[in-house]
Amino acid sequence: MVTETTLEINLSALKENFLFIKSKLAPETLLLAVVKAFGYGSDAIEVAKFLEELGVDYFAVAYVSEGIELRNAGVKSPILVLHPQISNFKKAIQFSLEPSLYSNRVLKAFIELSAKLGLKNYPVHIKFNTGLNRLGFPHESSGLIAKNLSQKNSLKIKSLFSHLAASEDLNEKSFTKLQIEAFDRASKSFGLSYGEMPIRHLSNTSGVLNFPSANYEMVRCGIGLYGYDNNSKKNNFLRPVASLKTIISQIHKVNKGESVGYNRAFFANEVKKIATLPLGHADGVDRRYGNGVGHVVIRGSVAPIVGNVCMDMIMVDVSNIDCSEGDEVVVFDETSTAQDLSEKAGTISYELLTAISKRIKRSIVK
């Protein structure tokens, strides 16, 4: 029973998801856990430490600052930085973080810095663009890049990788297969020119589940570890790790014809009992969830959000619920999931989870 707005992080669920994903891999296949965006809105440090205990092989973050937080917390495992900025390369090296090099500009800058610092065999990762068209060298240029890098003893190519664009959508199966084929050609060409084959990773959570032949030497999983996949059927095998709960601050009687909240967005068509909750769009429950789109659960019953979501508060209709001030309220959990709620607003679980503000208390459930 919570006494304030709290995000509960269930490490048992995290362990089950980790073991489920591992069960889909060959014994020798490595697992990289993505803990960017504060561990998908949970707690990157607690998640990473626990996964390290479970034997995860690698971590990935988006930015150097995220990797530094993990290092300062005592995380020892190798950390890939997916989107490093040139201005942070020195910090990356200082904290033994391994950058993704994805363009000629970024590669040149890191080679120059590594030579200046006298580095030997510093681990880096090469990303290829195979169709997502976001980051990455053209996959056709892999041989030339490898030939250039084979002459640079300051760097050690630890892995080659790319990113699937639609592995969760089986209607795009042919496109995903084209991506896999392009990555296969690029990695083989790179290996021949470089003189050895680095670790390869292409599959995300959906890739692991839908295209197991493309797992290569390592897979890179994010959302699946936190209990979600973009396929609702696959979600049955995963347990949501995070549960967002709050309490009822106050209950109002609102008479017929009276309005609730900013801009008078809700008018009572009869006498209503309205509960005010202490969280709002500053906490990650954005305005799309207002005016009956979103809901919470109180004592097992659904209470729709009424009126506009405020910065620090939302109001819900509890006219048909026997509840009191101070009662616990579930925004999402294992039963009423973040995916269920996000779909009502036309978005995805990633967005709802990663939007949860750091000002919300985190509680680790072991």
Give me the architecture of the 242-365 domain, per CATH. Answer: Beta Barrel (2.40)
Q: Where are the domains of the chain?
A: 11-228, 242-365
What is the average pLDDT across 228-232?
75
Report the interhelical angle of 64-72 vs 44-54 (nearest 10°).
70
For residue 16, pLDDT beyond 70: yes
Q: What would the pLDDT profile of 153-201 be if each residue is shown by its tens digit? A: 999 999 999 999 999 999 999 999 999 999 999 999 999 999 999 999 9
Report the interhelical angle of 142-149 vs 173-194 (nearest 10°).
30
The CA–CA distances, whole Å, from 77 to 53, 95, 170 equal 10, 12, 34
* pLDDT of the residue at 232: 56
For residue 17, pLDDT beyond 70: yes
Element (H, E) at 277: strand 272-277
* pLDDT of the residue at 233: 59
Q: What would the pLDDT profile of 25-72 be if each residue is shown by its tens digit? A: 999 999 999 999 999 999 999 999 999 999 999 999 999 999 999 999
Tokens of 319: 């006219």
Tokens of 99: 């950058």
Tokens of 331: 């925004």
For residue 274, pLDDT beyond 90: yes
Tokens of 104: 């000629």
Cα(360)–Cα(204) distance, rounded to whole angstroms? 29
Please confirm, yes or no, whether 194 is among the known catalytic residues. Answer: no
For residue 292, pLDDT beyond 70: yes
For residue 235, pLDDT beyond 70: no
Mean pLDDT is lowest, of 82-96, 126-140, 201-215, 230-244, for 230-244
The CA–CA distances, whole Å, from 73 to 48, 68, 84, 354 equal 10, 8, 20, 21
DSSP codes of every residue in 181-234: HHHHHHHHHHHHHHSS--EEE---HHHHHH-GGG-TTEEEESGGGGT--SSHHH
Nearest to 307 by CA among 285, 295, 290: 290
The pTM of this model reads 0.95
* pLDDT of the residue at 366: 86
Cα(27)–Cα(17) distance, rounded to whole angstroms? 16
Residues of the chain with pLDDT > 90, as a percent, come to 96
Please confirm, yes or no, whether 188 is among the known catalytic residues. Answer: no
For residue 326, pLDDT beyond 60: yes
Identify the band that residue 253 occupies on the pLDDT scale cut at 50, 70 and 90.
very high
What are the residue ranges of helices labelled H in 199-321?
205-210, 232-235
Q: Which fold has domain 11-228?
A: TIM Barrel (3.20.20)
Identify the band that residue 105 occupies on the pLDDT scale cut at 50, 70 and 90.
very high
* pLDDT of the residue at 236: 77
Element (H, E) at 305: strand 301-306
The residues, any chain, with a CB within 8 Å of residue 113's CB and separated by 6 or more, are 89, 90, 93
DSSP codes of every residue in 18-54: HHHHHHTS-TT-EEEEE-HHHHHHS-HHHHHHHHHHH
Which amino acid makes up residue 357?
S
For residue 139, pLDDT beyond 70: yes
Catalytic member of 15, 36, 152, 234: 36
What is the average pLDDT across 76-96?
98
Identify the band that residue 231 occupies on the pLDDT scale cut at 50, 70 and 90.
low
Catalytic member of 76, 108, 177, 262: 262
What is the average pLDDT across 132-139?
97
